[in-house]
Amino acid sequence: MSTILVTGGTGYIGSHACVELIESGYDVIVMDNLYNSTEASLGRIEQITGIRPKFYKTDLLDEEGLKKIFAENSIDAVIHFAGYKAVGESVAKPLLYYENNIKGSINLYAAMKEAGVKRIVFSSSATVYGDPVRVPISEDFDVHTTNPYGTTKLMNEMILSDIAAADPEWSVLLLRYFNPIGAHPSGLLGEVPNGVPNNLVPYIARVASGQLEYLRVWGNDYPTVDGTGVRDYIHVVDLAKGHISAVAYALEHNGVEKINLGTGNGYSVLQVLHAYEKACGKELPYKIMERRPGDIASCYADTAKAEKLLGWKAQYGIDEMCRDSWNFTLKNPNGIE
């Protein structure tokens, strides 16, 4: 079976992808610098699948370390998750984001080229669409970014597209995630944000567990169903399964494909909050605040291309996403240890 290198494989989405890869019969190698995750995730992957992936504690900026991984293993494809991902932090520290997410990724691509590994699935983001002219969003929409984090995603898309244009033997899948939430149904893997969460569902989880007092709802004057922001939330297991379909496609085809990974359904902040109340069996307090700078009103995916090209469609609904998020939160009050 093929061997897949997963960069960022101890992280939230990466660890779920490792589980699905192993369960699909792939050999998995994980590379991570543990900046935003813990090696304990490998033990959780083993608890779920019975297999502990081979692990390299390596930073994308360590060129020799990257070359070592490719020299020591016969890698068929790479899934590239590793990167800093906090929008607000990227605005405050742009150079940190460009050095890690761009320079680091170029190091990875150079190591791949040198080793003759020409198949990659890249973790991109719907944030490249900026404020869309309409919804649902399809892959042919204009792209424009509004923060350094989003710009690093778009720049990686462009770099990989140029590499593939120069060498038609490359296969590049650019997966544009919408809003990943939830956790593995076992409760063994899930999202463990650093500090106070910026994102909606991890924040709600902290309110439900009593660690935070109430949810601040960033604006209720948007042109949406109830005035609060609408997003396309996708279960992290659905997202991980999308990577299995993508890597299978990448192993069989050459060229570049940009693909949305979303559910095609939009939910408002208050709709998610109420779904979470059902999941945790508690009323969750919230306060309506001013809009958060940079937020858009509504964003959800046209999922036709993923269905047609990859034969993939998200299966879980918002209730299962909140159920699994709450189950993970209850079982891991101190995160993954």
Any idea which residue has 């869309």 for tokens? 132
Binding-site size for ligand WQD (CB under 6 A) equals 19
Q: Does 217 bind ligand WQD (CB under 6 A)?
A: yes
Nearest distance from residue 200's CB to ligand WQD, in Å?
Answer: 4
Q: Does 277 bind ligand WQD (CB under 6 A)?
A: no
Contact 12, 190 (CB under 8 A): yes
> In the beta sheet, which residues pair with residue 122?
80, 174
Q: Does 218 bind ligand WQD (CB under 6 A)?
A: yes
Q: Does 326 bind ligand WQD (CB under 6 A)?
A: no
What is the footprint of ligand WQD within residues 15-44 (CB under 6 A)?
Answer: none
Coil vs helix vs strand at 52 = coil
Any idea which residue has 């935003």 for tokens? 36
How many C-beta neighbours within 10 Å does residue 74 have?
10
Q: Which of 203, 249, 300, 312 binds ligand WQD (CB under 6 A)?
A: 203
User: Catalytic pick from 109, 129, 149, 316?
Assistant: 149
149 included as an active-site residue = yes
Q: Does 87 bind ligand WQD (CB under 6 A)?
A: yes
Contact 49, 41 (CB under 8 A): no
Which class for 190: exposed (0-12), middle (13-18), buried (19 or more C-beta within 10 A)?
buried
Nearest distance from residue 132's CB to ligand WQD, in Å?
Answer: 12
Q: Does 313 bind ligand WQD (CB under 6 A)?
A: no
In angstroms, the CA 244 to CA 22 distance is 10
Contact 69, 6 (CB under 8 A): no
Q: Give the residue from 281, 258, 273 showing the smallest Cα distance to 330.
A: 281
Q: Does 89 bind ligand WQD (CB under 6 A)?
A: no
Q: Does 127 bind ligand WQD (CB under 6 A)?
A: yes
Q: Where along the sequence are the contacts to ligand WQD (CB under 6 A)?
A: 85, 87, 125, 127, 177, 179, 198-200, 203, 215-218, 229, 231, 269, 292, 295
The residues annotated with a catalytic role in the active site are 149
